[in-house]
């Protein structure tokens, strides 16, 4: 089975939307996500990249497309990479390249790149610590955001700095069993072995 067959783009997007609706919005991990989701302002792009170089090319394309698109039509982009950087440390290293690309494209202060990964792990935590799930998505995912939208969201939610602590408390209260019950893991074949114990696989 080819990697394209193992990770059909439609299934990858469906998995990501289910995670967004059940975890990010359902648990209110990001109070700003519901609005753009409801308005259809999230663009989902599935990368066919199999290495960091190819993914960087896809990221460049998506950054330029987001910068050119009207915010009312496309406020944010989720670039999903099911074929590469399954190791969290490799993915974490890639983020430096992503930030460098933003600057190279003269998009610093306009766009920024956040991230989610099925093996995400906060420094100082165990791999199966449930709080890591706050930043875990079904697949390695780059979140492209507009700086203006972030500023507007912070103005509308003046205690934005408290989101992190609230999310930790939410996941601790939910527990590993509660997170697993959300069923926000990947549906694609062969992906479960790469997602880690707390990735939300059924």
Residue 198 lies in a domain: no
Question: For residue 105, what are the domain limits?
Answer: 3-193
Residue 42 lies in a domain: yes
Residue 152 lies in a domain: yes
Residue 201 lies in a domain: no
| DSSP per-residue codes, the chain | --HHHHS-HHHHHHHHHHHIIIIIITTTSSTTHHHHHHTT-EEEEE---SSHHHHHHHHHHHHHHHHHS-TTT-SEEEEE-TTS--SHHHHHHHHHHHHHHHHHTT-TTTEEEEEE-TT---TTS-TT-GGGGGG--SS-EEEEEEHHHHHHHHHHSTTGGGHHHHHHHHHHHHHHHHHHHT--S--STT-GGGS-TTS---
As for how many domains the chain has, the answer is 1
Residue 200 lies in a domain: no
Residue 199 lies in a domain: no
The pTM score is 0.89
pLDDT in tens, 113-154: 999 999 999 999 999 999 999 999 999 999 999 999 888 877
pLDDT in tens, 65-114: 999 999 999 999 999 999 999 999 999 999 999 999 999 999 999 999 99
Residue 202 lies in a domain: no
């Amino acid at each position: 089975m080819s990697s394209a067959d193992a990770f059909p783009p439609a299934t990858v997007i469906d998995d990501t939307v289910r995670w967004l609706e059940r975890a990010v919005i359902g648990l209110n991990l990001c109070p700003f996500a519901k609005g753009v989701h409801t308005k259809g302002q999230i663009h989902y792009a599935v990368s066919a990249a199999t290495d960091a170089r190819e993914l960087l090319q896809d990221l460049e394309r998506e950054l330029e497309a987001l910068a050119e698109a009207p915010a009312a039509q496309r406020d944010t982009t989720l670039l999903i990479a099911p074929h590469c950087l399954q190791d969290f440390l490799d993915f974490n290293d890639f983020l430096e390249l992503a930030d460098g690309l933003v600057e190279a494209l003269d998009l610093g202060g306009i766009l920024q790149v956040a991230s989610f990964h099925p093996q995400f792990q906060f420094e100082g935590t165990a791999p199966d610590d449930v709080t890591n799930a706050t930043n875990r998505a079904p697949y390695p995912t780059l979140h492209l955001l507009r700086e203006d939208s972030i500023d507007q969201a912070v103005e509308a939610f003046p205690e934005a700095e408290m989101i992190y602590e609230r999310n930790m408390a939410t996941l601790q209260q939910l527990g590993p069993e509660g997170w697993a019950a959300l069923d926000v893991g990947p549906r694609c074949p062969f992906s479960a072995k790469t997602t880690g114990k707390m990735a939300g696989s059924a």
